[in-house]
Amino acid sequence: MKRPTLEVVAARAGVSKSSVSRVINGETTVAPEIRDVVMRAVHELGYVPNGAARNLVTRRTDTLAVVVSDPPQGVVSDDPLFSAVVRAVSRELEKAGKRLVLMLAESDQSRTRVVQYIAGGHVDGVLLVALHGTDSLPAALARQGLPVVSFNRTSAQDVPYVALDNAGGAALAVRHLLERDRRRIATITGPLELYEARERLAGYRQTLRDTGRRSIVALGDFTRVSGAEAMRQLLEDDPDLDAVFASNDLMAIGALRTLQKAGRRVPEDVAVIGFDDIEAASYTSPALTSVRSPMADQATAAVHLLLSLIDGGPTDPVIMPNELVVREST
């Protein structure tokens, strides 16, 4: 099942390789009759250009890597937003006529494999998703000298990024709770190695400080069980609290369960608000109020930034605004 080559097509059409190449690549300096005879030959033979050969000489691959850097426990890729992001990226690349190579970097070993692969010239650019601030990957990739866009802020200074307005979102949540006349507002944080977790915490703190209230903080790690556990902790430490801002929805869902088991009514006794507005937030009872993270839009923006970078465009970071989705839990 050998595929025909340019040369075979050229022979069939009775023209030179160069002419066929020009037709294939849509150059305009080709006489119509040559164009036609070439196209016919192409269709008759079912010719499709060999990608490797083309890559080799053009040094472009029309392929972008999406690298998901994640500890083995899988905080990020377990996240329900993962598939939304992957889909949005995929759709956007499809539109731009590019391909997507997905790589999960879960261990140091796979991290070096990723760098090797990138260095091998297989891709034109890299989209980095959800890294720890301490991650060595962003810097290592940036050093390869090809375009890198991060899906979050990272410790590597010069990596362009598209980020959520995490602090602003947290402020939105807290102000909403204040408007509902809540006085003792606790928070459950994400893992503080992550920028987004730190920013959400900072937004929460700042807003409370501005209104002269004190923070009540419990640590979580963005998983549902950690949310349940943190809520238990909070109830013990401060039984009088009347609202909880969880740094993501999974933890909010965990907190909801804990509250129900403890016999607290939501939202009457304790209001609960999450962050991200994942699908499952609308399934819970009561349905969860949440700060919507426009992940699909963020993914789209990240792809655009990366594509523009590849074309030598600007590298200005993009910050996505969030909005509040009020449901039953507040």
Cα–Cα distance, 19 to 37 (Å, whole number): 11
Residue with tokens 């920013």: 199
Contact residue for DNA among 22, 176, 205, 292 (CB under 7 A): 22
Does 56 help bind DNA (rule: CB under 7 A)? yes
Which DSSP state fits 161? B
The H-or-E segment that residue 121 falls in is: none
Q: Is 21 in the site for a copy of itself (CB under 8 A)?
A: no
**Cβ atoms 247, 222 nearer than 8 A:** yes
- Taking the alpha carbons at both ends of the chain, their separation in whole angstroms is 64
- When CB distances are held under 5 to 8 angstroms depending on the partner's kind, the choice from a copy of itself, DNA, none that residue 71 binds is none
Report in angstroms how near the CB of residue 123 gets to DNA at its nearest. 16
Hey, which residues between 237 and 266 contact a copy of itself (CB under 8 A)?
A: 253, 257, 260
Residue in 192, 212, 200 with CA at minimum distance from that of residue 171? 200
- Using the rule CB under 7 A, give the single segment among 43-51, 136-144, 263-271, 286-294 that binds DNA: 43-51
Query: Closer CB to DNA, residue 118 or residue 177?
Result: 118
Backbone φ/ψ region at 151: left (φ over 0), alpha (ψ -120 to 50), beta:
alpha
Residues 170 and 273: their CA atoms lie apart, in Å, by 10
Residue 121 touches a copy of itself, criterion: CB under 8 A: yes
Q: For a copy of itself, which is the closer residue by CB, 91 or 184?
A: 91
- Rounded to a whole number of angstroms, the minimum distance from the CB of residue 115 to DNA is 16
CA atoms within 13 A on the CB side of 299: 21
Interacting residue with DNA among 50, 83, 116, 211 (CB under 7 A): 50
Q: Is 26 in the site for a copy of itself (CB under 8 A)?
A: no
Tokens of 143: 């050093």
Q: How far is the CB of 184 from a copy of itself (least distance, A)?
A: 25
Selection from DNA, a copy of itself, none that 285 binds (CB < 5 to 8 A by kind) is a copy of itself
281 secondary structure, DSSP code: G
Task: State in angstroms the smallest separation of the CB of 292 from a copy of itself.
Answer: 17
For β-strands 323-325 and 289-292, DSSP reports them as antiparallel
Query: Which C-beta is closer to a copy of itself: that of 71 or that of 121?
Result: 121
Length of the chain: 330
CB-based contact 105:114 (threshold 8 Å)? yes
Of 67 and 172, nearer to a copy of itself (C-beta) is 67
Partner in contact with 45, chosen from DNA, a copy of itself, none, beta carbon below 5 to 8 Å by kind: none
Residue 64 sits in the site that holds a copy of itself (CB under 8 A): no
Q: Residues near 72 by Cβ (< 8 Å), separated by ≥ 6?
A: 106, 107
Residue 44 φ then ψ, to 5°: -60, -40
Check binding of 24 to DNA (CB under 7 A).
Answer: yes
Number of residues located near DNA, criterion CB under 7 A = 27
Q: Which of 5, 16, 21, 55 binds a copy of itself (CB under 8 A)?
A: 55
- Residues of this chain that interact with DNA (CB under 7 A) are 2-3, 5-7, 14-19, 21-22, 24-25, 29-31, 34, 47, 49-50, 53-54, 56-58
